[in-house]
Structures are given as structure tokens and as C-alpha cells.
Amino acid sequence: MNKNNFNVLIIGSGLAGLATALKLADKKSIGIVCKTNLTESSSHWAQGGISAAISSKDPISSHISDTKIAGAGLCNEAITEFVVNNSEKALDWLIKIGVAFTKNKKTNDLNLTREGGHSQMRIAHVADTTGKAIQEHLIKKILSHPNITVLENHIAVDIITSEKIKMKMKKNTCLGAYILDNKKNIVNTFSANNIVLATGGASKVYLYTTNPDVSTGDGIAMGWRAGCKVANMEFVQFHPTCLFDVKDRSFLISETLRGEGAKLVLPNGETFMEKYDDRGDLAPRDIVAQAIDYEMKRKGLTCVYLDISHKPADFIQKRFPMIYQRCLDRGINITKEPIPVVPAAHYTCGGIMTDQSGKTNINQLYGIGEVSFTGLHGANRLASNSLLECLVFSSTAATSILNNDFSHDHKLPKWDESRVTDADEEVLITHTWNELRRFMWNYVGIVRTNKRLSRALHRINMLRDEVGEFYKNFKISSNLIELRNLLQVAELIVLSSIERKESRGLHYSKDFPKPDKIAKNTVLVPPNFKD
């Protein structure tokens, strides 16, 4: 294998990508494409934990039921049962490779907590920094494995398929990818027998988000351009409780605070969630986010508050050490005062369509984690099912790849820059990025209308034409690649939202406030591509 040729090229370095790499590396040569560095991913910032029905008091059927209730009638029943039935096995894999989950001091069993939408204590965690602990452990193993090559500061531009390069094959087949080396500013051609998209979600399309800057929908956009079907892109999960702070806009306040008794309150200390749902503060995220949004608009508030100060100070500091310190750094002592919070874009429930093995409708192309639509989350993801999904489908994808003997030695075309020049100014990129995120927040946010969606689509079409011209005429940069992808994902979100003539889960339309009797997925098929 030369340096640009791998058995498996994994694009993305969150839990989905790293877990898949480790499960394949003993038998395959692996390349991991990482936009910045290995620690920069949504997985790294996941505070809550991993949901798994492992307690004797928690039957698997209960976890399945909670997932389906949160999913508002759109969870794929077979997939949901499969994932939940494999939750203990997924958790055991992490424990076996050395991830040190928080345990009960008296019994030495895993300390299980609870989040919104869960009827039982079933969230395994590492204090309040579960994602960070898992990622740091996996990264050590990744960096020490001889069959894994990590390409930091590289960003994928596009996937190379047989249809794109007009190569005759029985079915559209993924053969490689164009990758920009950010440091050298050169686009290289990578050949691979299998490509795994593990690029995460697209929440940076919104003005306010809990996600890191790398969450720009790259895998969804690349998959769509390559010919992948996408589904349910209208279901964007807004986390109810993001810290309201000018200097710390992306800091998520974990749902486990409410699981441990924190209450959402108005500035006067009045609770309000009991007006919206019998489960109160432990209602699923869509209900809580909509309730907060309504209360803020009704009273003209800039935020609401999350109050856990009634709990003992030592309990708060031990259970939530990172949140306690981060808030303290902002002048908020959560043992004595409530935390100002607002909803923020958090998770993309739709994505490129995959089967139980993570396969897309393009041969040799897989999608794992938030980039994918598996049918697990339905119209709203149940808290802490995301890391679980990454682990379960990393195993099924790895098994599929190991059992597949496809290989190729086709010479792939080089990236053509012969007709482009250096960009004279990049102000277009900055201005377009800001405009896109702002009108997506205003027009395609928690509450939607036909008029808002129509306005958003009109703006997207105009901006896409402008950016398309820029893309054709100038040398590309990581900022331009991300903007192009965000515009594509924004269009998919809006088109899917227009298609859904009802309100369900995370999609609430004032024009269609009630759910249909029959729940259906919104499936979009790329034009000019055969199945």
C-alpha cells in the first residue's frame, strides 16, 4: 500500500470513526481523515453517557419503549430492538479496552444515572465528561496501532465514485476521495476499497449550537453529491439547555442535571415544565426545547434558568465537576444560584440512509454515527442513544467490511486545478456563512412556518449559486469546503421540512400543528442518480 492507498479510509475522528478503525485495524490498513486534530469532535464533548439496559430493574423492553416514545412513531422497530439488545455488548467493549466508567463506591457496580425521556436509571457515565474520557482512551490506542495512519489537518472534498468518473461497473461504487491537506494547501487523491463516513452532524448550520466548529455536515453533503439517499433531515434536535453566555455560546449543560433533580425555572423562580408534560423536567428534548422557546417568546426573555442549587454542594461538585468549574469560571456558582440556559442546535437525527451494516446505497460506502440515518432515532433522539449507536454500528460495519473481499487498483483521476486562481478575497465566505446560520436560526428553528421555509429556500438557492461560482473559479480552502457543504445540508433540511405536512417530534409547524395518523419517513433521492 502506498501512502494514499488504504483498505479502509475513515473520514471523521469521533467515536464512530475511531471505534470502527480499532475493530478493523488488526486485519486492514486504515487511514483516518481528521479536519483538525483527533480530540475535536462532538463525541469528545458528550457529557451525559451511554444508555444501556443492564440493571436487573431495567428490562430491555423498557429501553426499547422509551426510544420509540421519544421517536414519535418513526423509529424503525427492528433497528431499535437490534441496537438496544446490543447495548450491553457495546458497553462491555469499552470496559474491556479500559474505559473507567464511574462506579458506586459501596457495590462497585456501574453508577447509572437518568436523563429526559428515560423511565429508568440506565446511563453509564464517566462523571460529566464521558465523551472526553472515551475519546482520550481510544486515541491512545489509535496512535499506537501500526496499521492506522492518522491524517490530521486534512478535510475531505468529495467522494470518487464509478459514476462520477464514468467507469462502467454493475452498480455505482465508491473508489476513493479527494482530500485537502490544509497545511500544504494541496488536494490529494486517495484510493480505498471501502470508505466510512463518520463526520458527525450539521448543527453548525445554525447560529446557536452546542457542537464544535467541525460539525458542518460534510459527510451528508458529500454522500448526497455522490448519490446517497438521505432521510428525515427536518428532525434537528435542539438541546434545551445550552449555557447562555456571550463568551461561551457552545457549552452544553448536560441533561443529567435534570436527571439528578435540577428544575427549569423562569427569572422569578417559577417552574413551568409541569404545564407542558406530565414528566415535567424529564420530558424528551423536543418537548422541553419547545416549552422553553414558547416561554421565552411569551415573556420576551433572553433565557430561562436551570436550578440545582437545592442539592448539597458537595454532591454537585463531585457529580458535575466539569460543569461546576466551567460555570464558576463564568461567575456562576451552581451550588448557590441557577444557570442561565437557552436551547441550541445539538443533533442531526436524519442523514444518509444506511442498513444494519452501515451500508449506503453506493457500493463500498458506509455511514456510521450522526452522519447516518439508521431508523433508530425516529423523529427525536432519546438522550444518550447517540454514543450507543456509534458503538453498535461500528461493529456491524467492521464485520461487513471484513467479510467483503472487494478490492480495486483503478487509477483515479487527479484533482484538476488547471483553470482556477487564488481567491482575491474571502469576505464572501465569511459573510455568507454568517447570513446562512442566522436565517436558518430564524426561519428553520424550533418553530417553523411555510412562509419562513420558503424564504429560507430562496436565500439558500441564491447563496448556493454565488458559492458555486466561487468554488469553480478559485482554489479551494477548508472554509469554502465547509460553506459549500453547509449550504447543501441547509437545502436538505428545508426541503425535508417542506415535505412534512404535519408536526411530529422535533419538527413543529404552525401551519400543520397536528401529527398525521400514519407516520412516514421523508426520503430525498439525489437527481440524476440511479439506485
- State how far the Cα of 372 lies from the Cα of 389, in Å rounded to an integer: 10
Digit-coded pLDDT (tens) for 254-272: 888 998 999 999 999 999 9
Q: Tell me whether residue 421 is in a domain.
A: no
CATH of the domain at 479: 1.20.58.100
Q: How far is CA 362 from CA 24, 129, 143, 227, 377, in A?
A: 21, 36, 30, 7, 23
- State how far the Cα of 441 lies from the Cα of 72, in Å rounded to an integer: 23
Residues 186 and 279 in one domain: no
Q: Tell me whether residue 216 is in a domain.
A: yes
- The pLDDT of residue 108: 86
Query: For the residues 118-122, what does the mean pLDDT come to?
Result: 93
Contact 47, 19 (CB under 8 A): no
Residues 323 and 435 in one domain: no
- The pLDDT of residue 380: 94
Q: Tell me whether residue 414 is in a domain.
A: no
Q: Tell me whether residue 297 is in a domain.
A: yes
Residues 285 and 180 in one domain: no
Give catalytic residue positions.
285
Q: How far is CA 299 from CA 38, 249, 280, 295, in A?
A: 43, 22, 20, 6
Residue 422 has pLDDT above 80, yes or no: no
- The pLDDT of residue 426: 72
Q: Tell me whether residue 531 is in a domain.
A: no
Q: By C-alpha distance, which of 216, 218, 151 is closest to 188?
A: 151
Task: Calculate the average pLDDT of the chain.
Answer: 93
CATH of the domain at 318: 3.90.700.10
Residues 222 and 248 in one domain: no
Q: What is the pTM of this model?
A: 0.91
Digit-coded pLDDT (tens) for 425-484: 677 888 999 999 999 988 999 999 999 999 999 999 999 988 988 888 888 999 999 999
Residues 113 and 228 in one domain: yes
Structural domain including 268 reads 240-346
Show the cell assigned to 430.
Answer: 465569511
Residues 41 and 138 in one domain: yes
- The pLDDT of residue 424: 67
Q: Tell me whether residue 434 is in a domain.
A: yes
Residues 158 and 62 in one domain: yes
Q: Tell me whether residue 529 is in a domain.
A: no
- The pLDDT of residue 146: 96
Residues 223 and 295 in one domain: no
Residue 250 has pLDDT above 80, yes or no: no
Residues 262 and 325 in one domain: yes
List the beta bridge partners of residue 195.
9, 365
- State how far the Cα of 241 lies from the Cα of 228, in Å rounded to an integer: 33
Residues 263 and 302 in one domain: yes
Q: Tell me whether residue 519 is in a domain.
A: no
One-letter amino acid at 445 equals G
Contact 457, 498 (CB under 8 A): yes
- The pLDDT of residue 451: 96
Query: For the residues 13-40, what does the mean pLDDT come to?
Result: 94
Show the cell assigned to 401.
Answer: 467490511
Q: Which of 331, 346, 361 corresponds to the end of one domain? A: 346
Residues 40 and 162 in one domain: yes
Residues 49 and 146 in one domain: yes
Q: Domain total for the chain?
A: 3
Residue 207 has pLDDT above 90, yes or no: no
Q: Predicted confidence band at 150 (pLDDT cuts at 50, 70, 90)?
A: very high
Residue 67 has pLDDT above 60, yes or no: yes
Q: Predicted confidence band at 1 (pLDDT cuts at 50, 70, 90)?
A: very low
CATH of the domain at 129: 3.50.50.60
- Is residue 183 helix, strand or coil? coil
- The pLDDT of residue 531: 54
